[in-house]
Amino acid sequence: MPFIPHTEQEITQMLQTIGADSIEDLFDEIPTHLRAAVLSAVPTGMTEMEVSRLMRQRAEKNTKALCFLGAGAYQHHIPAAVWEITTRGEFYSAYTPYQAEASQGTLQLTYEYQSMMTALTAMDVSNASMYDGASSLAEAILMAVRANRKSKSRKILIPTTVNPVYRQTAHTIVKGQQIDLVEVPYDKATGTVTLDQIKQQAEADITAIVLQQPNFFGCLEAVDEITDWAHENNILVIAAVNPLAITVLNPPGEWGLDEASKGADIACGDGQPLGAPMSAGGPYYGLLCCKQALVRQMPGRIVGRTVDLDGKEGFVLTLQAREQHIRRSKATSNICTNQGLVVTASTIHMAIMGAKGLENTAAACHQNNNNLVVQLCAIADVKKAFAGAHFHETVLQLEVPAQQVLKALMQKGILGGFDLSLDYPELGHAILVCTTEMRNEDDIAAYAKAMQEVLAQTANNVASLQESA
């Protein structure tokens, strides 16, 4: 019996102790007419050998194409030690550290995570993580509404340069709370939001503004200027950041030039680039940080350092008075887990890489993207959509439908990027291309060559179609 250790003799002894004739008797409080028939649509059980064969076959079916796709999930190098340690049974099969004395490993690690994340973001406080980047943005918005007591409007400005699936997720999660998510269009030349456009959307009372850095197009927002303006107008700033990018880019805690109000008020984002494999979409984790003044509005778990009876250092879950198991219907959020295991991996990842290693990785991503874009834009009919600097993603405009080009690239073993036509039809035939430190010169050259062939092929097809017409 899979994972059930009982011998016949033990079953008999146990039933005797209980005073029951059979295991079936233990279910005699369930009305018999409601009892389930055989679960015929579930296959019969398998041995480990059989399951392994099935899963290996299925894993083999997935593509091995060279990945130039980003759009919220990125293929980065992860040191072998990271998941070796993370999947040790003591981390892997432990639960929420409610018994602090028996969970010092997880608790101290989480405290170290919080310390690293506040160092990285230059924010005051980090929680123990949220589900993912999109849901952490939703929680950041709910938090801003609770925290900005001077604002009555519950209006949040969200530029359309914020990842579309983040905006959709935020909408799903906050719509029950009468919160108004107001979209701000971007500047067609730069692919960023301008203060003028923001001011056009901004009525008298705005609760918060979301700024993603780098934004979904890979472009860099004018975070200092917008942060200062927001704070002058009693608007909280929610930063959505790529935590790897901010080893090179100005971190959210430093946004703004006005020393008195410096820094985003809340920072969120997806921790995936720091040690989580792409894994078809997760598990990743959402980072959530804030200024000290907002700590009691923070959702989720937080670990604090304290002392034991002997005065020895130790770690506990703290500020639990915010949480659902104490506050029930008055909790700051219904969330009761964090993405513990992924945070474990990410903490080990950050420790091994170090700030310098992460910074060099981020810079390599950026440089590779510049190289790729130069090579692709050397091809006729490929051009950059937006002027200005990028981190490691760039929007390219083509003369032919993106879907067609991406499909043809895929046949050449290139996962060529993200088709923007559904979310941003105004950009025409546009794709978002990404490079991480994993793409070397040969990979980039292979992409450029494939693109050239695909576009030449497409041009021939168009020409021959025109001729035959």
Partner 1 sequence: MLIFEHSSHGRNGAPQSPVEKASVSAIPESLLRKNRAALPEVSELQAVRHYTRLSQKNFSIDTQFYPLGSCTMKYNPRACNTLAMLPGFLNAHPLTPDEQNQGFLACMFDLQSMLCEATGMAAFSLAPMAGAQGEFAGVAMIDAYHKSRGDEERREILVPDAAHGTNPATAVMCGFSVKEIPTLDNGDVDLDALKQAVGPQTAGLMLTNPSTLGVFERNIEEIAKVVHQAGGLLYYDGANLNAILGKIRPGDMGFDVIHSNLHKTFSTPHGGGGPGSGAVGVAERLIPFLPLPMVTQEGEQYRYLTAKDCPQSIGRLSAFMGNPGVLLRAYIYMRFLGREGMVRVAEFATLNANYMMAEARRRGFTLAIDSRRASHEFIITLKNEARKYHVSAMDFAKRLLDLGYHAPTTYFPLLVPECLLIEPTESEAKEALDGFMDALEQIKQEAETNPEILHAAPQTLPVKRLDEVRAAKQLDLAYRGSE
Q: Minimum CB separation from partner 1 for residue 169, in Å?
A: 5
| CA–CA distance, 53 with 55 (Å, rounded to integer) | 6
Tell me the closest approach of the beta carbon of residue 130 to partner 1, in angstroms: 9
* Nearest distance in Å: CB 373, partner 1: 10
Instruction: Write the DSSP assignment of 384-399 as a string of letters.
Output: ESS-S-BSSEEEEEES
The two structure tokens encoding residue 47:
């041995």
Report, in Å, the least distance between residue 109 CB and partner 1.
6
Q: How far is the CB of 262 from partner 1 (least distance, A)?
A: 12
Strand (E) or helix (H) holding 125:
strand 125-126
Judged by CB, which is closer to partner 1: 202, or 435? 435
Closest separation in Å from C-beta 413 to partner 1:
11
Whether residue 386 contacts residue 395, with contact meaning beta carbons closer than 8 Å, is answered with: yes
For residue 214, say if its preceding peptide bond is cis, omega within 30 degrees of 0: yes
φ/ψ bin of 281: left (φ > 0), alpha (ψ from -120 to 50), beta (otherwise): left
Residue 157: other Cβ atoms inside 10 A: 24
Of 397, 401, 411, the residue nearest 453 (C-alpha): 411
Pick 202 or 362: Cβ nearer partner 1: 362
- Name the residue nearer to partner 1 (CB basis): 55 or 445: 55
Q: How far apart are CA 273 and CA 287, in angstroms?
A: 12
Q: Which is nearer to partner 1, 46 or 463 (CB)?
A: 46
Q: What is the DSSP string of 434-456?
A: E--TT--HHHHHHHHHHHHHHHH
Nearer Cβ to partner 1, position 136 or 148?
136
Task: Tell me the C-alpha to C-alpha distance, in Å, between residue 312 and each of 111, 128, 306, 455.
Answer: 16, 23, 8, 67
- CB 119 within 8 Å of CB 252: no
Instruction: Give the nearest distance from C-beta 152 to partner 1 in angstroms.
Output: 18
C-alpha–C-alpha distance, residues 1 and 148, integer Å: 56
**Residue closer to partner 1 (CB basis): 76 or 202:** 76
Nearer to partner 1 among residue 7 and residue 468 (C-beta): 7
DSSP-derived 3-state class of residue 6: coil
- Asked whether the beta carbons of 271 and 341 are under 8 A apart, the reply is no
- Smallest gap from Cβ 252 to partner 1, in A, equals 11
Both structure tokens of 80: 């072998």
Measured from the CB of residue 100, what is the shortest distance to partner 1 in angstroms? 5
Report the C-alpha dihedral over residues 24, 29, 31, 34, rounded to 10 degrees.
Answer: -60
Helices (H), 378-440: 402-411
Which residue, 165 or 446, has its beta carbon nearer to partner 1? 165
* 356 burial level (CB within 10 Å; 0-12, 13-18, 19+): exposed
Tokens representing residue 451 in the block: 């693109």
Shortest reach from residue 5's CB to partner 1, in Å: 4
Residue 207 or 346: the one with the smaller Cβ distance to partner 1 is: 346
Q: Which is nearer to partner 1, 104 or 459 (CB)?
A: 104
